[in-house]
A = this chain, B = another copy of it.
Amino acid sequence: MSAGTLRPGGRTARVREAVREATLAELGEKGFEGLTVESVARRSGVHKTTVYRRWGSVEGLAADALDLAGGEPWPVPDTGTVEGDLRELTRLVLTGFTDPATGSIPTAFISAAMRDPVVAKALRDFFAARHRQSAPIVERAVARGELPEGTDAADVVRTAVAPLYYRLFISGEPVDETVADRAAATALAAARAGAFVTPA
């Protein structure tokens, strides 16, 4: 679903959406190194001077695309069990990086955030939103009696997804469904053992 359909019409919203889609497409094809204001203007059909005036730079374009992405609906898993939900969650992250059409986009954002503070801020906000959006997985599990009261939802989510990001961006090791499933199982085992309950 595109953000445009969520926002009531308006020329400004349409221009923003066109620029954002063009930014994502360019990032997917060329990475952050290949992103230029000119190519986004050409692809979006929005005049270059407008793009410069409103977004300022490639960093501004990347940050705005991230900002909109963070506000979009996201298919938070709801399988009926915390085990199923965490497995779905780690597979969503995996697919986000391995999808042939869009897999290079998150990599471009993370790479851009490492060298630009405006993109870094947008990425922080994006992940904070994802952590909030994923919290119901843990809250439902606590309500069902699957996890201890007081389990920190964000920490369960961080633990489930961190090994995937660690392999992709730090140790440079491969990721696949086996890795994703083990990361989910690890977070679940630790959560069941009470590792995410802050001592009183």
Interface set of A (CB-CB < 8 Å, partner B): 33, 110-111, 113-115, 120-121, 123-124, 127-128, 131, 155, 158-159, 161-163, 165-167, 169-173, 182, 185-187, 189-190, 192-196
Contacts and interface: CB of A to CB of B under 8 A. Distances in A.
Contacts of A171: 123-124, 127-128, 131, 158
A187 B158 CA distance: 13
Contacts of A194: 189
A33 B115 contact: yes
A119 B54 CA distance: 36
A124 B185 contact: no
User: Mostly helix, strand, loop or mixed at chain A's interface?
Assistant: helix
Nearest to A166: B162
A161 B159 CA distance: 10
A195 B182 contact: yes
Copy count, this protein chain: 2
B110 A170 contact: yes
Given A110-B169, A158-B166, 17 more contacts: A33-B115, A110-B170, A111-B114, A114-B169, A124-B173, A155-B182, A158-B167, A158-B171, A159-B159, A161-B166, A162-B170, A165-B166, A166-B166, A182-B195, A186-B187, A186-B196, A189-B190
B113 A172 contact: yes
A19 B159 CA distance: 39
Nearest to A113: B172
29 contacts: A110-B114, A110-B169, A120-B172, A123-B172, A124-B172, A124-B173, A127-B172, A128-B171, A131-B171, A155-B186, A158-B166, A158-B171, A159-B159, A159-B163, A161-B166, A162-B163, A162-B170, A165-B165, A165-B169, A169-B169, A182-B195, A182-B196, A185-B190, A186-B190, A189-B190, A189-B195, A190-B193, A190-B195, A192-B193
